[in-house]
Amino acid sequence: MNLTLLIWTIVKILIVIGFVFNVAALLTWVDRRQSSMIQDRIGPNRAVLKLGKFELRVAGLLHTAADGVKFFFKEDFMPPNADKLLFSLAPILAMTPVLALLAVIPFGDTLCIGDFGKIVPRFGVCDGTQGHGAWAMDLMVAPLNVGLLYVFALAGQGIVGAAIAGWSSDNKFSLMGALRAASQMVSYEVAMGLSLIGAMMIYGTIRLDDMVRWQGDYAWGIFVQPLAFLLFFTAAVAENKRIPFDLPEAESELVSGYFTEYSGMKFGMFYFAEYMEVCTSSMLLVTIFLGGWQLPFLHRDGLTIAFGETVLVHAPMAHWGVALLGVVAFFGKTLVMCSFQAFVRWSLPRFRYDQLMKLGWRVLLPAALANIFVTGLVWVGIDKVGVELSSGLKIAGDVTQAGVAIAITFGVVRLIIGMAGKREHRYSTAGTSAKFAEKLGGSKETPMQA
């Protein structure tokens, strides 16, 4: 049994790390490709693999591979007066917490080992006492009871890597970027943590897998905590230090911020850790607010479309089929959230630094506290009413599940039609500077002055 558990643990580690590494690499391409689509540009197309007379471009995906090769062969420069130990340690401290955070994120429901081809009951555990499952295996690397507390503890360690990188570089621009990063990440971590208090009150647990199960039985977290979702998403983007919150790396002000002096794979680790943070934050958003591995009306025993006590459709499914659909659903939702974060980056302008701090302390923090207060009042009120309201809430939850099912179906169909259709590029000239000047009354010519 111990050897089997070890093998399964290694497999789970390879799954989550392999997914995050590949998605992070893909996001570097998405940033280029999606920005070119938004701005009506050609996008990445210069990296070419030539096979005789045949040229393979793969829609610019080879640029990501070229970046990786370039990082390995670039000079590993270190400033003469830098602290050599801390300078080399900072990229490791930036990447390690992101990887360690993956340990508690569940990417699927508990597997009943031995019952892959059977239909397991919707409720209960796989302990062998209910006629199903020789033993249970959680689809997360480390099923810790502390759950979100572990997430908060590791999320705060990202500050250390940025601060050490800026201080040890012996560069004033790097130090200013490190100070910005530290103050920004501390500020938004407060709002991020408080935004989840309401969700923990509703779910009644700090374990991430139990939160997902609650959402499968009732409604997704985005419906019961919509304000918390917006607050957590905003704070997560700020924690990732991406536009519009990229003040620690503002090229027009600080060259490259706290990693100005880094090159080669040290710079690559900072660069890659940022995209890994995007993927990890998306996984947390999916787990806490978007149902995790849950799909509408899909439970352990199969597909059950029901509203309250009225069951419309019940289609039993084998355990392996339900588990596989759950894993695919989780990773699919994560990809959608990653794409949405990339869309946000190319849609909003950069804040000023005072605006950045005001947003964190004067908007997000009071809103998170208000959300806790309102959630407490509503939760106490529901508890006082008791059973009379529970049936109505259950039906409301089933209605939200139906709405999500319709939205997913429409999105998938729309995506298929869009990919199968032929795109037409239409070019039009809005006007010239001469026409604009003429509309404003013309331009006045003055004699040239020496």
Q: What is the pLDDT of residues 174-218, one digit of tens each?
A: 888 888 888 888 888 888 888 889 888 888 888 888 899 888 888
pLDDT grade for 231, boundaries at 50, 70 and 90:
very high
> Cβ atoms within 10 A of the Cβ of 140, count?
21
Burial 191-209 (b: 16+ CB within 10 A, else e): bbbbbbbbbbebbeebbbb
* Three-state DSSP state, 338: helix
d(CA 343, CA 354): 24
What is the pLDDT at residue 287? 92
| Predicted confidence (pLDDT) per residue in 131-170, tens digit | 455 677 788 888 888 888 888 888 777 788 888 888 888 7
Please name the amino acid found at residue 251. Answer: E
Share of the chain above pLDDT 90, in %: 8
What is the pLDDT at residue 396? 80
Identify the bridge partners of residue 421 per DSSP, sorted by sequence position.
none
| Predicted confidence (pLDDT) per residue in 234-286, tens digit | 988 888 887 788 777 766 666 677 778 887 888 888 888 888 888 998 999 99
DSSP 395-448: HHHHHHHHHHHHHHHHHHHHHHHHHHSPP---------HHHHHHHTT-------
Identify the bridge partners of residue 299 per DSSP, sorted by sequence position.
302
Q: Are 283 and 387 in contact (CB under 8 A)?
A: no
pTM over 0.75? The answer is yes
d(CA 198, CA 249): 33
What is the pLDDT at residue 298? 84
d(CA 399, CA 244): 35
| Predicted confidence (pLDDT) per residue in 414-435, tens digit | 878 877 766 666 655 555 666 6
The two tokens of residue 301 are 């025993």
d(CA 161, CA 276): 15
What is the pLDDT at residue 232? 92
d(CA 241, CA 275): 10
Task: Indicate the length of the chain as a whole number.
Answer: 450
State the SS3 of 222-270.
HHHCHHHHHHHHHHHHHHCCCCCCCHHHCHHHHCCHHHCCCCHHHHHHH
Residue ranges of domains in the chain: 79-417
pLDDT grade for 127, boundaries at 50, 70 and 90:
low
| Predicted confidence (pLDDT) per residue in 311-365, tens digit | 788 888 887 888 888 899 999 999 999 888 888 887 887 778 888 888 888 888 9
d(CA 288, CA 223): 11
The strand pair at 135-139 and 298-299 is best described as: unpaired
| Predicted confidence (pLDDT) per residue in 167-180, tens digit | 888 788 888 888 88
- The candidate with the shortest Cα–Cα distance to 101, out of 24, 141, 139, 154, is 154
